[in-house]
Structure 1
Amino acid sequence: MARIAALCLGLMAAATPVAASEVEGARAAELKHLVIQDCGSCHGLTMKGGLGRPITRDLMQHYDREILRDIILDGIPGTAMPPWRPLMSEADAMWIADYLRGVDQ
């Protein structure tokens, strides 16, 4: 629980309104870690599904990046997919959407 709280605080402190293309370096590494650890805790560490649906690159590449960004930021009501908007910027969510789609960062 303390690890999640620390991660949330770190995400809030690092969230800045920048373009997705400007998310790089340490922040990109943090977001990749977030996807693997936090998204992976529901979607599976290999992203092939678990509590949440599979979010593998071959499945995600068919989705529009703005739709994925909105799902990341606002969650999906009535499901276990939480909103991440309080914890990250739109640029962060766009970076994650591109990462999930396999777009080179």
Structure 2
Amino acid sequence: MRYCWLFIGLISSCVFAEQPKPQRQQELLNMLKHDCGSCHGLPPKGGLGPSLMPDALADKSDALLIDAIQNGRAGTAMPPWKNFLNIDETNWLIQRLRQN
């Protein structure tokens, strides 16, 4: 059932995706730097968590990345972020990571 919800969420985020407001974009970039960077490194070339550089993400689908961010990864240090990020914000962060 979780995958059905994720699929529905992905379709709605692709079709109806809203850009976060500028202030929220800055908050998300700070979160990316400070929270994600504490495990993935600065720049995010890897550390406790894997690299988040564009070349490392190239073979990973948005759906896989959204699931990892929203729900975390069992058995790893990756926590779920769904209480802090909605699907549109998660997608926005992924697109920023793909551009760097």
TM, length-normalised to structure 1:
0.73
Tell me, yes or no, if structure 1 residue 72 matches structure 2 residue 77.
no
Matches within 5 A, 1:1-105: 19-102=16-99
| Amino acid of the structure 1 residue aligned with 2:39 | C
Change (3 A) 1:24 1:62: farther
Report if the CA contact (8 A) 2:20-2:89 is conserved: yes
- How many residue pairs match? The answer is 86
TM, length-normalised to structure 2:
0.76
| Larger RCO (CA within 8 A; separation ≥ 6) | 1
**Structure 1 residue 94: Cα displacement:** 0.8
Change (3 A) 1:24 1:61: farther
Q: Which runs of 5+ in 2 are unaligned?
A: 1-12
Q: Distance in 1 between matches of 2:58 and 2:22?
A: 23
For residues 15-56 of structure 1, the C-alpha deviation after alignment (integer angstroms, 9 at most, x for no partner) is xxx854422411111111111111000001111111111111
Q: Which runs of 5+ in 1 are unaligned?
A: 1-17
**Structure 1 residue 59: Cα displacement:** 1.2
